[in-house]
Structure 1
Amino acid sequence: MPPTLDGQLTIEKTPSYFITREAPRRIAAMSRDVKLMIVVRDPVTRAISDYTQTASKRRSVAPQRPFESMAFTNRTTGLVDTSWSAIKIGVYAKHLERWLRHFPLSRVCLISGEKLIADPAAEMRRVQDFLGLKRVISEKHFYFNETKGFPCLMKAERSGSPHCLGKTKGRTHPRIDPQAVARLRDFYRPFNMKFYQMTGINFGWP
């Protein structure tokens, strides 16, 4: 972690922190004053998105197995493969439990991935308030890119073109068997309900 001077905030990020078992203890040992921000989205959509991202990288190496064969250890019984990282990431309640052993919920800002797309300015207001920053980012800093299906960030007037997510974002998801999607929703539902109870936030996932 780089040194932080008075009046500065240092931000470090990686998706793996949230799910790495040792991370909460190690970060708490470094400082219990850190503020934690976690972006979550519908875990079924997230699993399909992770699969799509991985598949796009593997095409030049070897064909990717179908999503359904990776998500289930047994399609007949509907047994979900919880060892697959794309599935494991979405069990948010289990991951958050580890963090709450070391940090109070007041030091955690949970950001809705769906709202970050639908209304990025509103979510950024929450982030700025959470970090104790002056509200600088607002609606005028975003526009929705219809091609990508994501909002893009408008740069300062003198800095040129808007900044959009790279080509690895906004890929079209493959068609997944509706029965597989329904089974995954059944699997995640109790974990989602527990997550809502733990955080006091209903993210509205099906």
Structure 2
Amino acid sequence: MEYQLKKLVTHYRKALQIKPDNLAVYHQIAELYYEQGNLDKTLEVCQEALQIQPDSALVLIVLNKMLQTLGFEGEEVTAFQNIPKNKLYYESLHILLSRSQKVKTFADAKTWKDAMVLGYHLKLKKHWDEAIAAYMKAIEIEPSLSLSYFELNYIICYCTSLEPKQIESIITSYHQVIKARITPPCAYVILGDMLTKQDKIAEAITAYKTAINQTTYSDNKYTNKYIDSHKINEVSFLIIGIGKCGTSSLYIYLCQHPQILSSTKKEVRFFNQNFDLGLDWYLAHFPPLPVEGGFLTGEATPWYLSSYGVEKKVFELFPNIKLIAILRNPVTRAISHYYMHLRSMRENRSLEVAMTSELEILKGMADPTQVSEKYWQTEKGYLQSGLYFYFLEKWMTVFPREQFLILRSEDLSSQTDKTMKQVYEFLEIPNYSLSGYPKINSGYYSDISNELRQKLSDFFLPHNQKLEDYLSRKFNWE
């Protein structure tokens, strides 16, 4: 196998001697090393290619796979993707590739890389206080690296054991670190999230607006007239779901359009988790739209579709908003959902046990989306989230159907340009093609047994049929 790898690499290297700027060949070599598990070599080849084209979509595809292999997901991956031209992006990958076994204590942490390694391993062990201190040290040493802020925010948002006094101490230290420093906009988004957790809503709004203002002056999408824009009072579109169906890819592709202005983060989670914080808090996450018109803004929280009562809250505030849902074969979606939880240590059961447990609860229910509180004490919603018909039916009793665009995840993957054209037509903006479409947050895992796959297929069959009948279209999920 190793001989064959060397032979193929030599072949591709000869091709590069003829055409040194052939990115497709670099991509092939990087893929070969990745498939062999040699991540150091994979990264070296990617960096060679990035000397030719710093934002190469082909390279980002391979880098995204590496991030998944290293255990990153969700907004952590997005944190990397948001700074593709920053050399620290690529250097930070080396943290886990070449330094992960060498940094075990704060005494060993001499650089921002060391501090990130330490923080990452402490996070895996759920040593939250020490992990926070490590990430704060990384930020202090290198305040321009976005990843440190996202890692810190992950702990603050998802660690339920943090006391208010601990968060207050973090905020105080954080203020001191970013004061008078050159920091990325995400630093202020994270500050806003921390202040929100402390119920300091007015201060959080100010932090989010600071992030928006920083983006305004650095993004060439914005025109001179933008500075005189009025306060935003509406959101143009929502990607409402559903998780593990490609919402991250769809949103990132969409935000490349010159007339789409992105929110402070992909998932604001206002209508399903933060509605009581008020409309001003929500709108602070969006840029005011330029006065000359033609610009749109929105966000993508993939669990809006399946969360109870969200449709009524959205209609209450934005009755004319455009809604996009992207749906995937519910069997493969459930498996992907399971492995996402497994990687993030939110699941310790085997795939078979987790799926069988949920099957036993849901089968035979007239509306399997109407589960009790007891259900969520043991289950994670791997199967329940794929019951699209019941969720869409609720939304479509509130909003007229013409305000929805329903996409297939499989089409976004295999016919990306065509699918994005549909999205642009739905939003009434000109078509816009990208040079490449890297998959974001795609997971990699072993296939499941035929017996379990058949059980899941049999479970979803009648529910998929209801969906097809309701929307009068075929999804062709086997």
Q: TM-score, normalised by structure 2?
A: 0.35
Question: Contact 1:196/1:203 (CA < 8 Å) preserved in 2?
Answer: yes
Does structure 1 residue 201 correspond to structure 2 residue 469?
Answer: no
Please name the residue that 2:435 is paired with.
141
Note if 1:102 corresponds to 2:389. no
2:351 to 55, 67, 71: 67
The number of aligned residues is 176
1:37 — aligned with what? 324
Q: Does 1:131 align with 2:427?
A: yes
Match of 1:178 among 450, 459, 476: 450
Change (3 A) 1:7 1:170: closer
Amino acid at match of 1:16: W
SS where residue 357 of structure 2 aligns?
strand
Gaps of 5+ in 2: 1-282, 363-367, 369-374
- Kept in 2, the 8 Å contact 1:43–1:90? The answer is yes
**Which secondary structure state, in structure 2, belongs to the residue aligned with residue 72 of structure 1?**
helix
The answer to which structure has the higher strand fraction is: 1
* 1:11 partnered with 2:298: yes
Given that 1:40 and 1:112 are in contact with CA atoms closer than 8 Å, whether structure 2 keeps it comes out as yes
CA contact (8 A) 1:28 1:102 kept: yes
1:64 CA displacement: 2.3
Task: Return the offset for 1:174.
Answer: 2.8
What are the residue-to-residue correspondences of 1:106-125 with 2, within 5 Å?
Answer: 106-125=402-421
Match of 1:155 in 2: none
Aligned residue identity for 1:30: L
CA contact (8 A) 1:116 1:123 kept: yes
Once the 2 structures are TM-superposed, how far is the Cα of residue 72 of structure 1 from its aligned partner?
A: 1.7
Q: 2:313 aligns with which of 10, 20, 26?
A: 26
Q: Given the alignment, which residue of 389, 402, 409 partners 1:93?
A: 389
RMSD of aligned C-alpha atoms? 2.0
Q: How far apart are the structure 2 equivalents of 1:33 and 1:63?
A: 39
Query: Measured at CA, do residues 4 and 98 of structure 1 come closer, stay the same or move farther in structure 2, by a change above 3 Å?
Result: farther
| Structure with greater proportional helix content | 2
Secondary structure at 1:171's aligned position in 2?
coil
Deviations 1:134-178 (A, max 9, x none): 1122xx522xxxxxxxx42xxxxxxxxxxx52xxx3332233222
Partners of 1:80 and 1:52 lie apart in 2 by 21
Q: Residue 4 of structure 1: CA displacement?
A: 4.3
Counterpart AA for 2:435: H
Residues 131/63 of structure 1: CA separation in 2 closer, same or farther (3 Å cut)? closer
Contact 2:341–2:347 (CA<8 Å) still a contact in 1?
A: no
- Structure-1 separation of matches of 2:385 and 2:357: 17
Q: Structure 1 residues 124 and 47 mapped into 2: Cα distance closer, same or farther (>3 Å)?
A: same
Mapped partners of 2:303, 2:463: distance in 1: 19
Indicate whether 1:57 and 2:344 are aligned: yes
AA aligned opposite 2:454: A
Residue of structure 1 aligned with 2:334, choices 24, 37, 47: 47
CA deviation map 1:2-38 (0-9, x unaligned): 4545432121211110101111000000121001001
Of residues 347, 350, 360 in structure 2, which corresponds to 1:79? 360
Any gaps of 5 or more consecutive residues in structure 1? Answer: 143-150, 153-163
Q: How far did residue 80 of structure 1 move?
A: 5.5
Per-residue deviation, residues 27-73 of structure 1 (Å, max 9, x unmatched): 00012100100111000000000111111111xxx872111111123
Q: Which structure is larger by alpha-carbon Rg, 1 or 2?
A: 2
